[in-house]
């Protein structure tokens, strides 16, 4: 679905279904340097299970016009305006990595607009290593290799994609290569610079699910502990044999646990 936010083209996929009035909405937010397509299975599942889905391309990503936004707060504000443009009053929000921070910040800034949240591969704070930041700043391809190498669990490095014939790390490389210059650096800077996460967490009013990969080397489970403690109502699920890309490494488990917070059926009037 093509929308306009702040006078610019903004894109979100609806999982092949047009939105229908009276249905609860789900908004999915990708991580640094990526786009809506990381959520393909979750998008399609919820769209065909009674929800109005928006898997968004943040500004400067996928099909959404740039430039990309420099802070998590700006992204959360933008997301609220995207929901306005799509006529969505309240939604369940699912975010991955950088997108989990955007989801968290949206919950804190607009508590009345989020009925549930799921934060995948999250950590607060989310510091980014100097080597990765400087490679991203130079638009050096090593930055992509580092993210893909660290971003997948040991199993994923040898494959075993649930979708027959897909090669996980190859798909991640191509996705990151598609981003324009500087997008990855801006995103990583936004993660690194997000300082208000624990304070934001204390303002969250909705139930929150944290989904973490036991083998995640970018946001290891222990790095999410403080966040989980700071959120008034949270539950944490740690997935075995999973790195930083749970929606791709463990898609079925992710759908199952998301289903616990994202319920179908008619929404509030």
- Can you give the binding site for another protein, defined by CB under 8 A? 13, 15-16, 35-37, 40-41, 43-45, 48-49, 62, 145-146, 148-150, 155, 157-167, 169-171, 174-175, 177-178, 251-252, 255
Q: Whole-angstrom Cα distance, residue 137 to residue 185?
A: 5
Q: How far is the CB of 14 from another protein (least distance, A)?
A: 9
Q: Closest CB to another protein among 197 and 246?
A: 246
Q: How far is the CB of 130 from another protein (least distance, A)?
A: 17
**Both structure tokens of 230:** 């700071």
Q: 53-89: string of b/e by CB count within 10 Å (b at 16+)?
A: bbbbbbbbbbebbbebbebbbbbbbbbbebbebbebe
Q: 1-17: string of b/e by CB count within 10 Å (b at 16+)?
A: eebebeeeebbbbbbeb
Q: How far is the CB of 79 from another protein (least distance, A)?
A: 20
Q: How far is the CB of 100 from another protein (least distance, A)?
A: 20
6: DSSP letter: T
Q: How far is the CB of 166 from another protein (least distance, A)?
A: 4
Query: In this structure, are residues 265 and 177 in contact, taking their beta carbons and an 8 Å threshold?
Result: no
Q: Closest CB to another protein among 7 and 164?
A: 164
Count of CB atoms within 10 A of residue 127's CB? 12
Q: Closest CB to another protein among 40 and 198?
A: 40
Residue with tokens 């369940």: 92
Q: Closest CB to another protein among 70 and 158?
A: 158
Q: Closest CB to another protein among 147 and 190?
A: 147
């Amino acid at each position: 679905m093509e929308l306009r936010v702040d006078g610019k083209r903004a894109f979100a996929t609806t999982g092949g279904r047009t939105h229908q009035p009276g249905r609860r909405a789900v908004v999915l937010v990708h991580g640094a340097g990526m786009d809506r397509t990381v959520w393909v299975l979750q998008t399609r599942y919820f769209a065909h299970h009674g929800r109005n889905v928006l898997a968004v391309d943040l500004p400067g990503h996928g099909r959404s016009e740039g430039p990309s936004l420099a802070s998590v707060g700006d992204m959360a504000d933008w997301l609220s305006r995207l929901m306005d443009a799509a006529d969505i009053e309240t939604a369940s929000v699912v975010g991955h990595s950088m997108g989990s921070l955007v989801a968290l910040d949206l919950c804190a800034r607009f508590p009345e607009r989020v009925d549930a949240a799921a934060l995948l591969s999250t950590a607060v704070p989310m510091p980014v290593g100097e080597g990765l930041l400087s490679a991203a700043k130079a638009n050096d391809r090593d930055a992509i290799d580092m993210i893909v190498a660290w971003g997948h669990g040991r199993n994923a490095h040898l494959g075993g994609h649930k979708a027959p014939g897909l090669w996980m790390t190859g798909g991640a490389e191509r996705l990151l290569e598609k981003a324009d210059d500087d997008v990855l650096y801006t995103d990583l800077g936004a993660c690194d610079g997000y300082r208000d996460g624990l304070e934001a967490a204390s303002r969250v009013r909705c139930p929150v699910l944290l989904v973490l990969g036991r083998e995640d080397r970018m946001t290891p489970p222990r790095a999410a502990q403080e966040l989980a403690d700071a959120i008034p109502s949270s539950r944490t699920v740690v997935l075995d044999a999973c790195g930083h890309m749970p929606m791709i490494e463990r898609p079925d488990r992710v759908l199952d646990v998301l289903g616990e917070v994202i319920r179908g059926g008619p929404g509030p009037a």
